[in-house]
Amino acid sequence: MKGPLGILGPGTLGLSAAQWAAECGVETLLLGRDLSHAEAGLLEIHSRWDRALGLGRLSREALDQAQTRLHSAAFGPDALQGAAILLEALPEDPGLKAPVLAAAAAWGPPELLVLSGTSALSIADLANRAGLTGRLVGFHLFVPVPRMAVVEVAVPEGTPGIWVERARELGQALQKRVVQVRDQPGFAAARMALAQGLEAMRLLEAGVASAEDLDALMTLGYGHPVGPLELSDRVGLDLRLCIAKGLEAAGEARFHPPMNLQRAVAEGATGCKAQQGFFSWKAGGKRHEKPGHGRPRHPGGRLRDLCRISARQSAAAGLRGPGRIGSAKLGTLEIIPFLNISLPRSKHGRHLLHPLRRRSDRPPERENRRVPVRPPRKGR
């Protein structure tokens, strides 16, 4: 690659991308609205590298080499004169992105590859606003960039192949699997993740299960590395809300944001970066569930207890109603193994309506229990 990679915007995405690019051997220029803004981002990256060195995740030699590749500058004509690629990593606001992209194309050399890091906006619409039709390519990196092994390249119709090929080459230089998709709002990845995240939020809002348990169903049941609610916190609830509103405005009602998402963003609880979201977050990215947050609303707060109550009610209905079953055992026997409960020692079905105890709750059997022996009747 001839010339450095310019990354505009020292925010969550920009810092993560600049850090990883330098570690991958790419000459990188972190651009801010002014020099102090860019240098503050540079200091944050150096702080991350120091932590990685202390934890043994990065060698001293690799750290020294990465530091020599990363520089900072104010966004302007001088910074872009020698750049080969510009990756815009600004907030998801087309009114903010479009004029900046237009200025970058005007200030940079004719061969400057202009990429947008958006994951929500249509590249074709953004290019039209910026006067870059046929030149702008979507380059969606996943955060944290060092850990996520894929990049989504969104290509509008009519984009010359040379721009697409250079975007793919950058993805390979960053050691990512390049997935090329057709341009549309939300591309492919954000749509899939958002649909799952919004459904988890609706289930949480309805009190179906806690945030911790909903995420556990996806991580332990389906093998996802993180659950949809934790992922939403890490991505940023404000970004989730922005994407959902954009897709809803485009006529896709299924992406209507639930009230708990809207309320969280309005209160400033935007996720990991604010240390509050669907989970509470501590320094270093450690999370813990908010006490009492999103607990199930059914009796007892546990699905097992609800099933036990339902089983007793079903047995009672079977004994009372017309055409009743002969014994409540018939109505409950099939679910006993799943509930881990023990049947009372009675031959009469009505005794099953008494509170049931788990095996673990039963008192231990007495040792050397004396069994009374009835004396034989006289005359035998």
Q: Write down the residue that tokens 């209905």 correspond to.
A: 317
Across 55-69, 205-219, 257-271, 285-299, least confident range:
285-299
Q: Which fold has domain 5-182?
A: Rossmann fold (3.40.50)
Residue 306 one-letter amino acid: L
* ω into 144 cis (within 30 of 0): yes
Dump pLDDT digits (tens) for 113-126. Answer: 999 999 989 999 99
Q: What percent of the chain has pLDDT over 90?
A: 69
Which of 332, 331, 330, 327 lies closest to 349, judged by CA?
327
Integer Cα distance of 66 and 267 in angstroms? 39
pLDDT confidence bin for 358, thresholds 50/70/90: very low
pTM equals: 0.73
Q: Write down the residue that tokens 């990429």 correspond to.
A: 115
Q: Which helix (H) or strand (E) holds 46?
A: helix 35-54
Q: Which is it for the CA torsion 185, 187, 191, 193, positive or negative?
A: negative
Over residues 302-318, mean pLDDT = 45
What's the CATH class of domain 189-289? mainly alpha
pLDDT confidence bin for 82, thresholds 50/70/90: confident
Residue 258 has pLDDT above 90, yes or no: yes
Residue 211 has pLDDT above 80, yes or no: yes
| DSSP secondary structure string for all residues of 213-264 | HHHHHHHHHH--SS-HHHHHHHH-HHHHHHHHHHHHHTT-GGGPPPHHHHHH
Mean pLDDT of the chain: 83
Judge whether 190 and 219 are in contact, CB under 8 Å: no
Of residues 364 and 36, the one with the higher pLDDT is 36
